[in-house]
Every structure is written in structure tokens, then in C-alpha cells.
């Protein structure tokens, strides 16, 4: 499982019902290590529900999730996160009344300063760890080009800057696999190019990505392979240009998204 191109994530026959609605219907897919894999499909296809199942925010009614060969089905989100599988949200969940830098410094788990007695009995260790975390946070902010905003309240950032901050917060956890939920939503073209460039750089550093995205131009530029979901199941998978011409995919998108493939 450690080799480049081997599955880092395996979804096996996942099922999730909400009352009488089956949102995910026996879905099977794999994400290969070292890839930027796109996950697309019409609205209501089950993409975000699948993300929630993989990351522990929902429990499946059937099926399994394997991460690096380990069964993580139904683990709570914090345990999934600590294994190296991290996600961002469609609406970034930053702490709006804290600075950009403080948002990053909160991420690493197990900080000594979280236990009040350490501040009394081990102050040197607490300061040393805090300084190391601060140094790491500043490096990450430089990487996503937000260092100049380190002291700004997170709530004052633009939509695109908040997406970069969300990515930066995920990077503080040193993830192996990052799930991005619509990173292009509400982001202007300049910041979108910056975000896409950062994702490609991180792929080069060994981080794997699974990305839900409706912007087909972004998917075609960034993702290979592309997985298509429809009605809770995997409909197709392949290189972006092959997916673009797949008649089953075009049919699934009729009535709203078809033009995105033809344009």
C-alpha cells in the first residue's frame, strides 16, 4: 500500500439512507496515492454525503471505508483526522474572531499548553513547543501566500482568502490525503489559479487529493483521474478528456450541467 499509485483510500459498497431517500447506494471507488482525483456529478449525486461518510461525520448504513488498508468505517472525525485524512468544507469554518496566524496555531493536537498545570510546572517546554508551532504556521502561511495577513482577523478575509486559510489549516496537520469540497466556489479567477497552483505543489510533495468541484475547467486542468457519481453510485472513471466525451456522463448532466462539458 505504500507504493506510488496504490490505493490510499478505498470505498467499498457504501450505503447511506435518509428516511426514504438513498443518498449513497452501494458506492465503490478508490483514490490512488499521489493523485489529484476529481469527484464530479450532478447536484444530489451523493458527493458531499460520501465525504461525510469517509471522514466520520456520518455513519454508513452498510459498507466499509479503508484508509491505508485500515478499516476506519464509523470512526469519529477526530480519529480519522489524526490518521492523516483531512477535509475542508464548502463553507470554510475558520475562527472568525481570531487572527489568521492563531487559526493555524490551534490545529496541532496534544499541545502542552492545553493542560493548565504544564504552564506552571513545564513552562519552558510549553514555550518551546508554541514557538515551533508558530514557526511552522508562518511557513505554511508563506506557502499559501497569506503571510502578509497573519495578524488580520479571519472574519475579514475575502472568500478566496478564506479558502486558502482553510487549506493552510489542513496543512498544519501534515495530512496524507486531503478531501476538498468545492474549493473553487465563490473564488475569483486570480485566487483560484493560486489555489490550484498550491494544490499541484502539494501533490509534488506527496500529498494526495480528492476534490469535489463543479467548475469543469478547473477539474479538466487539475484532476486525473476523474470519478463521476450519479444517483449515489460511481458512474464512470477515467482521464478528464475521456470523461468529457463519455455519453453516460453527458446524459447524467442533462438539464443544467451539460453545457459545462460542451463548452
CATH code for the part of the protein at 7-94+173-262: 3.40.50.300
What is the chain's percent helix, strand, coil content, to nearest 5? 40, 25, 35
Expressed in angstroms, the distance from the first to the final Cα of the chain is 39
Taken in order 93, 97, 103, 109, the sign of the CA dihedral is negative
The confidence score (pLDDT) of residue 24 equals 97
Q: Can you point out the beta strands (E) in the chain?
A: 7-18, 21-32, 36-40, 62-67, 70-71, 85-87, 177-181, 208-212, 226-230, 233-238
Max CA separation in the chain (angstroms): 67
pLDDT digits (tens, 9 = 90+) for 188-210: 888 888 888 989 999 999 999 99
The x, y and z cell numbers of residue 33, run together, are: 496515492
pLDDT digits (tens, 9 = 90+) for 106-127: 886 655 445 554 554 556 666 7
CATH 3.40.50.300 region(s) of the chain?
A: 7-94+173-262
The pTM assigned to this predicted structure is: 0.83
**Nearest residue to 217 (alpha-carbon basis) of 244, 245, 246:** 244
Amino acid at each position: 500500500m505504500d507504493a506510488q499509485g496504490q490505493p490510499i483510500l478505498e470505498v467499498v459498497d457504501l450505503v447511506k439512507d435518509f428516511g426514504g431517500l438513498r443518498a449513497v447506494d452501494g458506492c465503490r471507488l478508490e483514490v490512488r496515492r499521489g493523485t489529484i482525483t476529481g469527484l464530479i456529478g450532478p447536484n444530489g449525486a451523493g458527493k458531499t454525503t460520501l465525504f461525510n461518510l469517509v471522514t466520520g461525520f456520518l455513519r454508513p448504513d452498510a459498507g466499509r471505508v479503508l484508509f491505508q488498508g485500515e478499516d476506519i468505517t464509523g470512526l469519529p472525525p477526530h480519529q480519522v483526522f489524526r490518521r492523516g485524512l483531512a477535509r475542508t468544507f464548502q463553507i470554510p469554518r475558520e475562527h472568525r474572531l481570531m487572527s489568521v496566524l492563531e487559526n493555524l496555531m490551534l490545529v496541532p493536537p496534544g499541545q502542552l499548553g492545553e493542560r493548565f498545570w504544564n504552564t506552571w510546572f513545564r513552562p519552558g517546554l510549553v514555550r518551546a513547543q508554541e514557538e515551533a508551532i508558530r514557526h511552522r504556521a508562518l511557513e505554511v502561511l508563506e506557502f499559501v501566500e497569506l503571510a502578509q495577513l497573519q495578524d488580520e482577523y479571519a472574519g475579514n478575509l475575502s472568500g478566496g482568502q478564506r479558502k486558502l486559510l482553510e487549506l493552510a489549516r489542513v496543512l498544519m496537520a501534515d495530512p496524507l490525503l486531503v478531501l476538498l469540497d468545492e474549493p473553487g466556489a465563490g473564488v475569483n479567477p486570480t485566487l483560484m489559479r493560486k489555489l490550484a497552483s498550491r494544490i499541484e505543489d502539494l501533490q509534488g510533495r506527496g500529498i494526495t487529493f480528492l476534490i469535489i468541484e463543479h467548475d469543469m475547467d478547473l477539474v479538466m486542468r487539475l484532476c486525473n483521474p476523474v470519478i463521476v457519481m450519479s444517483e449515489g453510485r460511481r458512474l464512470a472513471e477515467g482521464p478528464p478528456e475521456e470523461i468529457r466525451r463519455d455519453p453516460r456522463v453527458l446524459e447524467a448532466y442533462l438539464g443544467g450541467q451539460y453545457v459545462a462539458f460542451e463548452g
